[in-house]
C-alpha cells in the first residue's frame, strides 16, 4: 500500500508540473500571438521560442528547414520579370502620371565647367564622412534655372553571373514618384550566382541628394523612445518614396543603439552602423573608425560587423568570426537583406529570398557598394517597398520582390519592428554638410564618446 501511495504522489507531482508547464506555455504564447502583426504561424512560434530562451533550438530548426524543407532549386529561369515598367505603373491612371510626364525628367546630372566648379564652395569634409557630395544648385552658380535639379547618377548595370541574362537583367530602371521630375529610386533584378538561376536578387538604388532618411523605431524593437508608435506619420505619406526593414532584434545585434539623445544600449566600437544625421543624410560604416558621436547625429543603429568593407566582401575573409544571422548559418539560402553605400553617397538595398551571406555580399559588391551592414533576415522580416502617388498624394505601394510576405503598407502603419524611410527632400543639398566616400580611415580621438569596447577586429 505504501508503494502505491508513493506512486500516486509522484504521479500527482508530475501532473502538476506538466500542467504548470502547459499553462506557462499557453499564457506566454498567447502574449506573443496577441502582439503579432499578421505574421505566419511559423514566425510567431519562432518569436515565442526566442523570447523564452530557446534561440539555439530555433537555430537548429532553421538549419533543418533551409536544408530539407524550403530548399532552393538548381538551374532554371526566373518566374518574375526583370522589366519593372508594368509593376511600377500598375493601378495608376494617366492623370496620376501626367505630372511626371509634364516635368520631362532628366536622368543625367548637371554638367558644370571647371570654372563653375571652382566658384562653388568646397565640398569635401573629414575622411570619415561618407554622406553624399552635393552638386551646387544652378542658382548658386549663376546658371540658368531651367536645368534639372541636382542629383546623382545611377550606377552602371550589375553584371549578371549567368551567360545568358534575361532582358533588362542588371539594368537600373527608374521607379517610384519623381522628385521635381527626376527619378530618385531605381531598381534592378539580377541573379546572385550561376547555380540558383531561377531566382533574382532585387536591388534598390536611392539617390541621397533627392531624398532624406527617417528612422522609425518599432513599438517593440529596438526599444527606447517611440515617438511614432512604429508608423510613418500620415502627413509624410505624400513624401515617402521607399521604405525598408531595419536590423535584428537589439539583443541579437552584438551592438548598440542611440536614438535622438537617448543611448538605449551602449554603442560598440568596431560594429557596423547605420548613422542618420539631423539633416536627414545617412552613412554606413564602422563605428569608431568611420565616424564618432557628434551633436548632429540623430540615430545610430548597429548590427553585427560590416558585410562589405572598402568594396570587398567580409563574409569569408581570415577575420570572419561572425555568424551572418542571429540564428541561421551564413551558408543557408534564406531571405536576407542589407543596406550599403557607394562612393558617391548613394544607398543600395538588397532584400531577396534564397541568398547566402556570401551571395548577398557579392550582389552588393557588384552594385559598387563600399560599405554595407546586414539588416533583418528570414521570411516576413525581410521587406522592401517603393511608392508611386496618386494626384491626391495617397501612396501606392510596390513590393521590391513580389514574394515579400504581408501587406505592402507594413512600414506606414503601427509596426513592431524598426524601418528606414526614404522621403522626398524638399530642398536640395547646397552646403558642404556632407561628403563623398573615401576608404581612408579617419583620425579620431583616442577616446570615442558614447562607445563601449569590442573584441571585433
Q: What is the pLDDT of residue 435?
A: 37
pLDDT band at 59; cut points 50, 70, 90: low
As given in the structure block, the three cell numbers for residue 129 are 564622412
How far apart CA 352 and CA 334 sit, in angstroms, is 8
**Sheet containing 240-245, strands listed edge to edge, beginning at the edge strand earlier in sequence:** 211-216, 419-424, 240-245, 384-389, 395-399
- Residue of 411, 433, 415 lying closest to 423 (CA atoms): 411
Q: What is the arithmetic mean of pLDDT over 99-106? A: 48
How far apart CA 237 and CA 226 sit, in angstroms, is 19
How far apart CA 410 and CA 418 sit, in angstroms, is 11
As given in the structure block, the three cell numbers for residue 142 are 549663376
Calculate the alpha carbon distances from 353 to 205, 226, 327, 334 in Å: 18, 30, 17, 6
pLDDT at 110 over 60: no
Lowest-confidence region among 86-90, 173-177, 316-320, 361-365: 316-320
pLDDT band at 108; cut points 50, 70, 90: very low
Cα dihedral across residues 410, 411, 412, 418: positive or negative: positive
Instruction: Tell me if the bond preceding 222 is cis, omega within 30° of 0.
Output: yes
43 vs 9: which has the higher pLDDT: 9
Lowest-confidence region among 66-75, 118-127, 171-180, 212-221: 118-127
Amino acid at each position: 500500500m505504501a508503494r502505491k501511495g508513493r506512486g500516486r504522489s509522484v504521479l500527482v507531482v508530475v501532473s502538476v508540473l506538466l500542467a504548470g508547464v502547459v499553462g506557462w506555455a499557453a499564457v506566454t504564447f498567447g502574449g506573443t500571438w496577441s502582439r503579432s502583426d499578421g505574421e505566419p504561424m511559423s514566425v510567431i512560434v519562432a518569436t515565442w521560442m526566442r523570447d523564452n530562451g530557446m534561440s539555439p533550438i530555433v537555430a537548429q530548426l532553421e538549419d533543418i528547414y533551409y536544408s530539407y524543407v524550403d530548399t532552393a532549386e538548381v538551374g532554371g529561369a526566373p518566374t518574375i520579370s526583370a522589366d519593372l515598367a508594368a509593376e511600377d505603373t500598375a493601378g495608376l491612371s494617366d492623370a496620376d502620371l501626367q505630372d511626371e510626364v509634364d516635368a520631362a525628367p532628366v536622368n543625367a546630372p548637371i554638367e558644370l565647367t571647371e570654372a563653375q566648379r571652382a566658384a562653388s564652395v568646397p565640398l569635401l569634409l573629414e575622411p570619415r564622412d561618407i554622406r553624399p557630395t552635393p552638386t551646387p544648385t544652378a542658382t548658386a552658380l549663376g546658371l540658368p534655372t531651367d536645368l534639372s535639379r541636382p542629383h546623382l547618377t545611377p550606377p552602371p548595370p550589375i553584371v549578371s553571373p549567368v551567360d545568358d541574362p534575361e532582358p533588362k537583367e542588371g539594368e537600373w530602371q527608374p521607379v517610384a514618384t519623381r522628385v521635381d521630375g527626376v527619378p530618385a529610386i531605381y531598381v534592378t533584378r539580377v541573379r546572385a550566382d550561376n547555380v540558383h538561376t531561377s531566382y533574382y536578387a532585387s536591388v534598390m538604388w536611392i539617390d541621397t541628394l533627392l531624398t532624406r532618411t527617417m528612422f522609425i523605431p518599432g513599438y517593440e524593437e529596438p526599444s527606447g523612445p517611440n515617438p511614432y508608435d512604429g508608423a510613418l506619420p500620415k502627413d509624410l505619406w505624400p513624401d515617402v518614396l521607399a521604405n525598408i526593414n531595419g536590423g535584428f532584434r537589439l539583443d541579437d545585434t552584438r551592438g548598440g543603439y542611440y536614438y535622438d539623445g537617448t543611448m538605449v544600449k551602449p554603442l560598440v566600437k568596431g560594429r557596423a552602423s547605420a548613422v542618420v544625421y539631423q539633416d536627414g543624410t545617412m552613412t554606413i560604416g564602422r563605428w569608431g573608425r568611420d565616424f564618432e558621436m557628434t551633436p548632429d547625429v540623430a540615430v545610430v543603429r548597429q548590427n553585427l560587423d560590416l558585410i562589405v568593407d572598402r568594396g570587398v566582401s567580409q563574409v569569408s575573409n581570415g577575420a570572419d568570426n561572425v555568424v551572418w544571422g542571429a540564428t541561421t548559418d551564413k551558408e543557408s539560402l534564406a531571405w536576407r537583406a542589407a543596406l550599403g553605400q557607394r562612393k558617391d553617397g548613394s544607398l543600395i538595398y538588397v532584400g531577396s529570398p534564397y541568398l547566402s551571406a556570401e551571395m548577398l555580399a557579392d550582389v552588393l559588391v557588384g552594385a559598387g557598394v563600399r560599405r554595407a551592414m546586414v539588416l533583418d533576415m528570414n521570411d516576413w522580416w525581410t521587406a522592401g517597398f517603393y511608392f508611386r502617388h496618386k494626384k491626391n498624394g495617397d501612396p501606392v505601394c510596390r513590393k521590391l520582390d513580389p514574394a515579400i510576405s504581408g501587406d505592402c503598407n507594413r512600414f506606414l502603419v503601427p509596426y513592431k519592428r524598426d524601418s528606414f524611410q526614404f522621403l522626398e527632400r524638399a530642398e536640395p543639398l547646397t552646403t558642404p554638410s556632407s561628403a563623398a566616400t573615401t576608404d581612408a580611415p579617419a583620425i579620431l580621438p583616442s577616446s570615442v564618446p558614447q562607445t563601449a569596447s569590442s573584441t571585433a577586429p
